[in-house]
Amino acid sequence: MNVSSPAFTEFRHSLANLAGNPQETGMSDDERLARARSTFIAKLNRRTAVDMETCIHCGMCAEACHFYIATEDERYTPAYKIDPLRRFYRREVSPLRLLYRPITRKMDLDELKEWSELVYEACTGCGRCDMMCPMGINISEGINIMREGLAAAGLVPDELNALQAEQRQSNSLFGVGAAELKAVAAELAQHGTMLPLDKESADILVLTTAVEVRLFPEAIAACAKVMEKSGADWTISTEAFEASNLGLITGDKTALRAAFKRVSAKAKEIGAATVIVPESGHAYQALRWESANALGEELAFEVLAISEYIARTIKAGSLKLKPATEIKSVTYHDPCRLGRQGGVFDEPREALQAMGLDLRETASNRRENLCCGGGCGEYAISHGAPIRQKAFELKKHELDDTQADAVVTGCNNCRINLMIGAEETGWDMPVVSLVETVASNLAE
Amino acid sequence: MRKDQNLGEYLRTQGVSRRGFLKFCSATASLMALPPSAVAQVAEALASARRPSVIWLSFQECTGCTESLTRSHAPTVESLIFDAISLDYHHTLQVASGEGAEEARHAAMEENDGEYLLVVDGSIPLGNPGYSTIAGISNLDMLKDTAKGAAAVIAVGTCAAFGGIPQAFPNPTGAVSVSDIITDKPIINVSGCPPIPVVITGVLAHFLTFGTIPELDHLGRPTAFFGQTIHDRCYRRPFYERGQFAHTFDDEGARKGWCLYELGCKGPTSYNACATVKWNEGTSFPIGSGHGCLGCSEPGFWDHGSFYKPISAGLWGSKETLLGAAAAGAALGIGSAMAARARKNKAIKESEADSS
Amino acid sequence: MTLLDFARGPALQWSLIILVTGIIWRIVGALLLSSRKDLSVARRKSGLNDGLGAIATRSLPAHTFEKRIRFQHVTGYAWHLALFVTVLFFGPHILFFESLLGFSWPALPNGIVLFSAAVALAILIALLIRRANHPVQKLISNADDYISVILCILPLLTGILAFAHIGGRYETLLAIHLLSIEALFIWFPFGKLMHSAMTFPARFQAGTSFGRKGIKA
């Protein structure tokens, strides 16, 4: 897949039209506000309370945020993005609320509307600021709560709203449902890659995403090759293949839970002990770290990112790679939700090194890696394009400095955003997927 | 000394040379921080001063002030100054007693109405007039009565000036200072427990010289003697600046004569001339003997906490109260957290209902 | 009662009562809020090490971020260090603590303390000016930020004046110095100065929650 392919052009076109017909929520202003308030109260807990109590307004978090660094717009300071939540906390939840109440003002809807731009467009939830905060405050958690409150108040940007509504109503994204997956499977079969769809029982349930079906079928094929080569008993379910979870992005709990339930039930049904998440950072974060909490019970299966599976099977000896020939040096872009929010740093690097690639780290890497600029559904929001582009320049600069032959990443979202940036700026560093690179260098 | 004789004439009849007199005048002038050019004025004024009548009243006091005064290194010219005034009434020093004594007071008051000096030592009890009486007259009545015709009042000693030890907590007699009662006369406070003798005589000298009361600080004390702190003039001050302190009365610092701040010295907050004039013919003063200043010339000096408590230390520290405060804080914290939890559970139910 | 007696007595008493009550109220009230057990399977067991590790490492220079935050870092270090030296190692201060706590420790020479007080004061003034002018800090600042800085400046300023006996009688300067600290005590539990206590649980929980995901916080 490259930026000049028709599929990519078409995908970008469909992104541009996502907001086409915004839906009316039918909520009164009072109702919106009440829902945001009760969401905030429901979500603020001890951890967030300690965080809110500790912020000293030093503003250092701004220096971690790609949007602030790229634009120097002070409104993009992470602490400012969660300011309404902090003020709400202080007035409504904090231990000293009785003292604060007479001297603070009530949260209002205008404020929330104003902040919608800041938490959806001007924040990818990448959590780089969490790593910088001298007080150890988890700012991205505050962003999540802000998003949940705004979602409850029906203040989600139209694009994300449209995507979420689609997932909620028809269990599809970008128009990709079971039929589309089956069509891709048929096409891949013609090229010799068989997808074991809908097996009645399997050890491993492999997920994919609508974006892969539509944009990166090679990634699905690559995944299939890796699974076959490693000798796994696996399947993809046409009923529960979608790993993306818009609920996590928008903050809609119901959507979040419904998507988890589908996967969880399917894994149980076929007796899978392992569920593999494709190259999607947020899908990994959602299923690996959030789903059990959203469902209120521990998962009955293990969740692995495909890169974790690859590293594990390489170590076990069931997957053997040969030295890569097409490219000699690579740099690895840590997707935020896989890396500093997921804990997967070493596995992708181990896989790259197993192919004898010269791994060159960017100036910021691992837990401090600079965001691609388009995560957390950000790339779908048209209005945010200008600042996204500026943030991309930062990323581009760091990537160029490595002088690597290609940038490898483990997340579709990063990949798409880097490709969009490349198309806009005429940047020519190849953006490649980890699983595709591994699949094309399997030892015979 | 005859009443119509002036001081100069009198001193000469007493065998005090002009030279000796001038020496006293220059000492007095320098003590009062007057310029050298004022010595001549002091000499002239003192030499020609008419013996004023002085009435000395002693109320709730220990006679320490009088002791101090009489121990002034006699026979010197200071004591002659006392001969030079007409001390018409003083319990301790006067020969007359009983009704004769009181008669002397009344006679002096009548004869010098509006011109006599009233010196008071000791505080005045307001709690019960019977706490302290002289010839059956309560201190309060005697003070009011005697002050009426006085030109000025000199409150000698901390008791008269500020209430002193009798006024110390819990002040059982309801003791007050002279200035708490007399408000329509010039009052000079010569505080100290006791005051330095030359300070008392110096104030008198000033009055004799200029016929006015000297410049006073906000507590009514002559700034010439009370303008600077003991600390400002202390010979141990360099050790304070260097942070060298005696920690106990027998440690190395104490032996080396380091600063006594940590041992509770009140020098930094005490205004008096001890460090310059010193005591016992300029021999020494408390800090010179290795003990911190008690701050005896300051109001309420008995109630500023222990004499051995450093002035930067708090005067309050109750672990029990602070534990109580902590318990109250914990109760408030628990209460607010419980209320927040209840509200949160309700909100969770609401938002579940909203989104289903 | 003189001003100094008031400052050393009742004002100290009530400010300490408010200080202690407020601090405990705020800490207990925050730490007792509900928190849900994380049901996801930890990558590795996390605990004390991760928590304490984060407490330590969040004070260290921040690697790749460092060049962008050098000013804050240098001033932050210098300010806190100068504050600790001034507050904890000035002889008369130790006497004050001894009167409250019942034990003491050795003091540093006055010259060092005076220098550190001047440094602390200069940094705070610089930070106050920066807060009022830097676009980011200006935007995110509230009254608390300004009140807290000013209430920290006052004891330093009055302390230096009292030490040097400049601008008034010593007992007045000392009383004002004490009162300025008491004002700080009273404000302390209600403003952002509480970070001095809250930063420990905040960093600790960052350490453990990232630690269970296998991430060094």
Query: Tens digits of per-residue pLDDT, A34-58?
Result: 999 999 999 999 999 999 999 999 9
Is C39 part of any domain? no
Cβ neighbours around A266 below 10 Å, total = 19
Residues of chain C in contact with residue A60, where contact means CB-CB under 8 angstroms, are: 65, 69, 72
> Smallest Cα–Cα separation from A342: which of B199, C213, B228?
C213
Residues of chain B in contact with residue A47, where contact means CB-CB under 8 angstroms, are: none
Query: Tens digits of per-residue pLDDT, C136-146?
Result: 999 999 999 99
Residues of chain A in contact with residue B332, where contact means CB-CB under 8 angstroms, are: 95
Where along chain A do its domains lie?
Answer: 6-14+176-314, 29-153
User: C33 and A45 in contact by Cβ < 8 A?
Assistant: yes
The DSSP letter of residue A101 is G
- Which residue would you say has higher pLDDT here, B329 or B281? B329
A230 touches chain B (CB under 8 A): no
- The boundaries of the domain holding residue C51 are 3-26+45-212
Confidence category of residue B222, pLDDT binned at 50, 70, 90: very high
Report, as an integer, the average pLDDT of A60-70: 95
Residue A313 reports pLDDT greater than 90: yes
Is C38 part of any domain? no
**Strand, coil or helix: what is C13?**
helix
Confidence category of residue A239, pLDDT binned at 50, 70, 90: very high
Measure B179 CA to nearest chain A CA, in Å.
46
The DSSP letter of residue A73 is -
- H or E element, residue A211: helix A210-214
Among candidates B269, B328, B336 on the partner chain, residue whose Cβ is nearest the Cβ of C29 = B336
> Smallest Cα–Cα separation from A53: which of B337, C77, C143, C196?
C196
For a pLDDT cut of 90, what percent of chain B falls above it? 56
Confidence category of residue B74, pLDDT binned at 50, 70, 90: very low
Is C32 part of any domain? no
Question: Which pLDDT score is estimated for B354?
Answer: 62
Q: Provide the mean pLDDT of chain A.
A: 92
Helix, strand, coil shares, percent, chain A, to 5: 55, 10, 35
Q: Quick check: B77 and B46 in contact, CB under 8 A?
A: no
Query: Tens digits of per-residue pLDDT, A75-116?
Result: 999 999 999 999 999 999 999 999 999 999 999 999 999 999
Put residue A80 in one of left, alpha, beta given phi > 0 → left and psi -120 to 50 → alpha: alpha
Please report the beta strands in B122-178, taking only residues with DSSP state E, as ranges in sequence order: 124-125, 133-134, 137-138, 150-156, 175-176
The fold of the A29-153 domain, in CATH, is Fumarate Reductase Iron-sulfur Protein; Chain B, domain 2 (1.10.1060)
Contacts of A75 (CB under 8 A, 6+ apart): A118, A122, C139
User: A252 and B337 in contact by Cβ < 8 A?
Assistant: no
* Distance of alpha carbon C130 from alpha carbon C132, whole angstroms: 5
Question: Which pLDDT score is estimated for B1?
Answer: 46
Query: Tens digits of per-residue pLDDT, A384-408?
Result: 889 999 999 999 999 999 999 999 9
Question: Which pLDDT score is estimated for B75?
Answer: 41
Minimum Cα–Cα distance from B332: chain C residue: C25
Among candidates A59, A64, A293 on the partner chain, residue whose Cβ is nearest the Cβ of C36 = A293
Put residue A160 in one of left, alpha, beta given phi > 0 → left and psi -120 to 50 → alpha: alpha
Q: Is the dihedral of CA B173, B174, B180, B185 positive or negative?
A: negative
User: B351 and A252 in contact by Cβ < 8 A?
Assistant: no
Question: Which pLDDT score is estimated for B85?
Answer: 73
- H or E element, residue A329: strand A329-333
**Placement of tokens 């100054």 in the chain:** B81
* Distance of alpha carbon A198 from alpha carbon A235, whole angstroms: 6
Residue A167 reports pLDDT greater than 90: no
> Smallest Cα–Cα separation from A184: which of A175, A174, A194?
A194
Cβ neighbours around A108 below 10 Å, total = 12
DSSP string, B44-56: HHHHH-B--EEEE
Number of domains in chain C: 1
Is C40 part of any domain? no
* Distance of alpha carbon C33 from alpha carbon C35, whole angstroms: 6
Residue A171 reports pLDDT greater than 80: no
Measure B290 CA to nearest chain C CA, in Å.
19
The DSSP letter of residue A56 is -
Is C128 part of any domain? yes
Measure B340 CA to nearest chain C CA, in Å.
7
**Which CATH number applies to A6-14+176-314: 1.10.3470, 1.10.3720, 1.10.12, 1.20.1050?**
1.20.1050
- Which residue would you say has higher pLDDT here, A143 or B66? A143
- H or E element, residue A304: strand A302-305
Minimum Cα–Cα distance from B162: chain C residue: C1
Query: Tens digits of per-residue pLDDT, A113-148?
Result: 999 999 999 999 999 999 999 999 999 999 999 998
Confidence category of residue A61, pLDDT binned at 50, 70, 90: very high
Report, as an integer, the average pLDDT of A407-417: 93
Radius of gyration in angstroms for the set of CA atoms belonging to chain A, rounded to a whole number: 22
Q: Establish, for the pair of chains B and C, how many residue pairs have beta carbons separated by less than 8 Å.
A: 134
- Which residue would you say has higher pLDDT here, A312 or C96? A312
The widest CA-to-CA distance across chain A, in whole angstroms, is: 73
Report, as an integer, the average pLDDT of B150-175: 95
Is C89 part of any domain? yes
* Distance of alpha carbon C83 from alpha carbon A308, whole angstroms: 48
CA A159 vs CA A228, A290, A418, C20, C123: distances in Å = 37, 23, 20, 51, 47
Query: Tens digits of per-residue pLDDT, A324-352?
Result: 988 999 999 999 999 999 999 999 999 99
DSSP string, C41-63: PPSS---HHHHHHHHHHTTS--G
User: B354 and A35 in contact by Cβ < 8 A?
Assistant: yes
- H or E element, residue C69: none
* Domain of residue C62, CATH code: 1.20.950
* Distance of alpha carbon A355 from alpha carbon A41, whole angstroms: 50
Is C58 part of any domain? yes
Q: Establish, for the pair of chains A and B, how many residue pairs have beta carbons separated by less than 8 Å.
A: 37
Question: Which pLDDT score is estimated for A21?
Answer: 63
Is C37 part of any domain? no
Helix, strand, coil shares, percent, chain B, to 5: 50, 15, 40
Task: Name the token pair of B261.
Answer: 């701040």
Among candidates C95, C113, C171 on the partner chain, residue whose Cβ is nearest the Cβ of B313 = C95
